[in-house]
Each structure stands twice: as structure tokens, then as C-alpha cells.
């Protein structure tokens, strides 16, 4: 391996994705090359700065999930469970083509029984 | 915690809770990828929406031959360039946001590293993001972008040189302080 090849592989090594065989060859070259040792230190520093910079970028806005769920249809937007496996009640908001109905389900021994649904034009 | 592949399999069965969890794992990552590609916050939000709806609809077609992240970023990439083409052709409706510089860029400019990345050519910017933030190998990136591995390595090589030129004095200063 020469310095040019080592320079191509160094970023992938510090990113942690270089295949084992190539990583071994790179380390062998770097161990005997002061120039590539400096290059490796610089690349590791750059990798750390880049990861920090990307992680500090903004994320998707809070409202995006509701839009995705509404378009996917039938997706639960929110769900609250009270009680236990033996006896409990779930109240959920679900996005559908016609709106955002609220549904309630009684859980008895792990089986769910619909008890009410409002917001779809027809109440149960 | 379920693996990404298990979640996709559950999504394919129509499991909304699995989809919610998958969304939680990928929405911000897809947004940051789209923002890196497009440098437009409004379009990046749309990319997240389009991508995750496509994931919901297409989970059954995921064969598991690649990582879930590669599959999802592949969808995001296609959506990003589709939206960009529509934007450039003026096919999008008048009340859609334009491609003008986004206020998010102002925030980005406060950080020298993100500024330096933003100044890279688009192909290099994308490789740097996928390698250092997503941890994808050059083989995975080559597969995702549909380009030779040598091209991916070359883009990274040049990106690293450009970034080092811009950032070396600053990072060296930070190191010393």
C-alpha cells in the first residue's frame, strides 16, 4: 500500500466502516509512515467534528408524524392504556381518510372489545 | 429492542405501533440527510413525509438484502431528487415553499463545520454525511448511489482534503485550547 491508497482508506477507517482486511493493511502502512500517521490523527479529529455537526442539525418537525400517519391511514396517532392485562381500557386517536376518530377498547384477559368510537360520523 | 428489520416485517403486516417506532428511529436521520442534499428545510420535511409513507406502503417489498437504513435512505434520495426536479420545473403548486435559502441555513452558518460541509459539491457532501453520520461503508454507499466504489472513495478523498483545508486551523486551535 502506498500513501495515496492509504489516504483514500483513512476516512473510512476513522468512520469505522473499513472492512477488516483493508483496515489491517492500512494500519500496517501507517505504523511505518509518519506522514500517514499525521493524516490519520487529522482524519480522526475531522470525523469527530463532522459527527458532532451532523448530530446538531435540526430534526423533523413535531407535526410531521401526524401528517405521515394521516396519509398512511389507519395509523394510531396516540394511545393511552390504563389497567392491566386482566382488565384494562385503551383510548386511542387514529388517523383515517374521514378524520381523526377516538376509539375506546376494553381489554379483558388480553382480548380487546370495542366499546366506543366517536368522530367518524357514526358512534358505536 | 426490536431490530430495524423486525420492525419493517411488522410494518409489512400493518402494525401501526411498529411503524411509529420505525418513524421515531428514522425521521430525524432522513430529515438531516435530505437537508444535507437539498439545503432546504421545507423540502426536507416533505422528503420525510414522502419517504415514511413509501416505507409504510412498500414494507412488504423489502427483501432484507441490504440494511434497513440503506433501503430507507435510498427511498429518501429518490424522493429528494424527485421533489427537486418538480421544484426546478415549476410543477409544484404556487403555495408550496420555494427553493430560496431557508432560515435553517442561517443557523447552519453559525457552525463552521456545517458551513464547510455545505460548501462541498453535492456528491461529496452526500458521501460525507452517509459515511460519518450514518456509518455506511463505501460499498453500501456505492450501492445506494448506484455509482462505482472507486467514485465513492474519490469523492471522500477530495471532500476530506477540502474540509481539512478549511477547518484545520480552527480544529487545531480548538485542540490546543
CATH number at residue A11: 1.10.10
Q: What part of B 71-100 touches A (C-beta under 8 Å)? A: none
| Closest CA of chain A from B6, distance in Å | 18
Instruction: Examine the domain organization and report whether A68 and A34 are in the same domain.
Output: no
- Are A86 and A42 found together in one domain? no
In this structure, what are the phi and psi dihedrals at residue A62, rounded to the nearest 5 degrees? -60, -35
Checking if the pLDDT of B96 tops 50, the result is no
Q: Are strands A102-108 and A87-95 parallel, antiparallel or unpaired?
A: antiparallel
Both A51 and A68 in one domain: the answer is no
Please indicate, yes or no, whether residues A27 and A68 belong to a single structural domain of this protein: no
Highest mean pLDDT, choosing among A17-21, B86-90, B101-105: A17-21
Same domain for A50 and A73, yes or no, is no
CB contact under 8 A, A46 and B20: no
User: In this predicted complex, what is the ipTM?
Assistant: 0.77
Cell of B163: 474540509
Domain range for residue A95? Answer: 64-117
Are residues B30 and A56, on separate chains, in Cβ contact within 8 Å?
A: no
Which residues from A are below 8 Å from B22, CB to CB?
A: none
- Structural domains of chain B in order of their starting residue, each with its CATH number: 1-100 (1.10.1740.10), 111-177 (1.10.10.10)
Q: Is the pLDDT of residue B105 over 80?
A: no
pLDDT in tens, B17-60: 889 999 999 999 999 999 999 988 999 999 999 999 999 988 88
Q: How near does any CA of chain A get to the CA of B130, in Å?
A: 10
Please report whether residue A124 resides in a domain. no
Domain closes at, from A33, A55, A77:
A55
**B residues 34..73 contacting A (CB < 8 A):** 35-36, 41, 44-45, 48-49, 52-53, 56-57
Per-position pLDDT tens, chain A of length 124 = 899 999 999 999 999 999 999 999 999 999 999 999 998 998 998 898 898 888 888 899 988 888 888 887 666 666 777 887 778 887 776 665 455 667 777 877 767 777 777 765 444 3
Q: In total, how many domains does chain A have? A: 2
Cβ contact B73:B145 at 8 Å: no
Nearest to A16 by CA among A42, A62, A51: A51
| CB-based contact B160 A67, cutoff 8 Å | no
The answer to whether residues A81 and A50 belong to one domain is no
Please answer whether residues A77 and A66 qualify as being in contact, where contact means their C-beta atoms are separated by less than 8 angstroms: yes
Amino acid at each position: 500500500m502506498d500513501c495515496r491508497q492509504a489516504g483514500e482508506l483513512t476516512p473510512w477507517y476513522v468512520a469505522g466502516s473499513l472492512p477488516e482486511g483493508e483496515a489491517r493493511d492500512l494500519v500496517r502502512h501507517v505504523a511505518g509512515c509518519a506522514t500517514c500517521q499525521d493524516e490519520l490523527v487529522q482524519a480522526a479529529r475531522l470525523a469527530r467534528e463532522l459527527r458532532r455537526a451532523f448530530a446538531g442539525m435540526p430534526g423533523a418537525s413535531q407535526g410531521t408524524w401526524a401528517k405521515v400517519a394521516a396519509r398512511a391511514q389507519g395509523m394510531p396517532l396516540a394511545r393511552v392504556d390504563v389497567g392491566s392485562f386482566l382488565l384494562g381500557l385503551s383510548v386511542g386517536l387514529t388517523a383515517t381518510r374521514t378524520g381523526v376518530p377516538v376509539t375506546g377498547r376494553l381489554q379483558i384477559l388480553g382480548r380487546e372489545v370495542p366499546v366506543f368510537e366517536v368522530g367518524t360520523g357514526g358512534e358505536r | 429492542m426490536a431490530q430495524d428489520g423486525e420492525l419493517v416485517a411488522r410494518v409489512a403486516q400493518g402494525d401501526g405501533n411498529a411503524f411509529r417506532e420505525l418513524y421515531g428511529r428514522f425521521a430525524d436521520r432522513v430529515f438531516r440527510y435530505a437537508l444535507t442534499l437539498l439545503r432546504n428545510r421545507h423540502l426536507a420535511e416533505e422528503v420525510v413525509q414522502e419517504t415514511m409513507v413509501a416505507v409504510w406502503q412498500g414494507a412488504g417489498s423489502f427483501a432484507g438484502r441490504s440494511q434497513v437504513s440503506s433501503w430507507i435512505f435510498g427511498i429518501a434520495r429518490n424522493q429528494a431528487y424527485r421533489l427537486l426536479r418538480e421544484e426546478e420545473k415549476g410543477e409544484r403548486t404556487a403555495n408550496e415553499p420555494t427553493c430560496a435559502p431557508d432560515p435553517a441555513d442561517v443557523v447552519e452558518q453559525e457552525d463552521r463545520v456545517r458551513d464547510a460541509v455545505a460548501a462541498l459539491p453535492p456528491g461529496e457532501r452526500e458521501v460525507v454525511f452517509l459515511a460519518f453520520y450514518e456509518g455506511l461503508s463505501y460499498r453500501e454507499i456505492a450501492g445506494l448511489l448506484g455509482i462505482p466504489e472507486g467514485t465513492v472513495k474519490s469523492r471522500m478523498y477530495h471532500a476530506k482534503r477540502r474540509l481539512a483545508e478549511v477547518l484545520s486551523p480552527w480544529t487545531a486551535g480548538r485542540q490546543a485550547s
